[in-house]
Amino acid sequence: MTARTETDDPRALAERAGRALEDAPALEILTWAVDTFGARFCVTSSMEDAVVAHLASRVRPGVDVVFLDTGYHFPETIGTRDAVDAVMDVRVITLTPHRTVAEQDAEHGPRLHDRDPDLCCALRKVAPLEEGLAGYDAWATGLRRDESPTRAHTPVVGWDEKRGKVKVSPIARWTQADVDAYVTEHGVLTNPLLLDGYASVGCAPCTRRVLEGEDARAGRWAGRGKTECGLHG
């Protein structure tokens, strides 16, 4: 692919890259992102696993890995973050909401996540991420098309309209089997909850184990008619 120039429209750049890299390996997609954006590229991670962080570190050692500490995470998730920071060649950056859980409870009442999960996600996830990504032109996610119907058309490189940034999903075409194989081959850190019936790990109050036959996202906001927190649409 051709290098980025100062006159490139970032949306057009993302669309061209998405078409050109659709069938490319994840490392090639990340190499394009690093070559194009340099230090203004980061990886975001929920610490469900460290697969994308590990891939990116192979292309750019010391790459920024952005993690949202909502105040509601399982202890296992915080432990995974700390382990990634300790043993991988990345720089973990932890973002936090403006208000602690106690301060949010005082303003909005306890258990906002039960009464208005969209507002809770907006306050504890969406707003902190938008501020945290201000210094970057592109960000990488671990989204996969096989996770749920809402993610079935995720581009490997696309345009994040909400934030005005290029959004890279290098493992969008991977299956769970691909992830498992990569984890095994490279000894990548994963959240212990994945071995305890959880297929997707989010905030503790809004995450449950999945049942046989359910898709990977079924354990998130179960029974609430909600499938995404707002970070990805």
How many residues belong to the chain? 233
Residue in 185, 188, 169 with CA at minimum distance from that of residue 57:
188
Calculate the alpha carbon distances from 38 to 34, 41, 76, 143, 181 in Å: 5, 6, 31, 21, 29
Structure-block tokens of residue 174: 């991977």
Q: What is the helix (H) or strand (E) element at residue 76, kind and residue range?
A: helix 75-87
Amino acid, res. 150: T
Kindly provide the residue ranges of all beta strands, DSSP E only, lying in the chain, ordered along the sequence: 41-44, 63-68, 90-95, 138-140, 157-160, 165-168
Q: Catalytic amino acids? A: 229
Query: How far is it, in rounded angstroms, from Cα 201 to Cα 217?
Result: 9
- Count H helices and E strands in the chain, helices first: 9, 6
Query: How far is it, in rounded angstroms, from Cα 215 to Cα 186?
Result: 26
Give just the sign of the alpha carbon dihedral 134, 137, 141, 146: positive
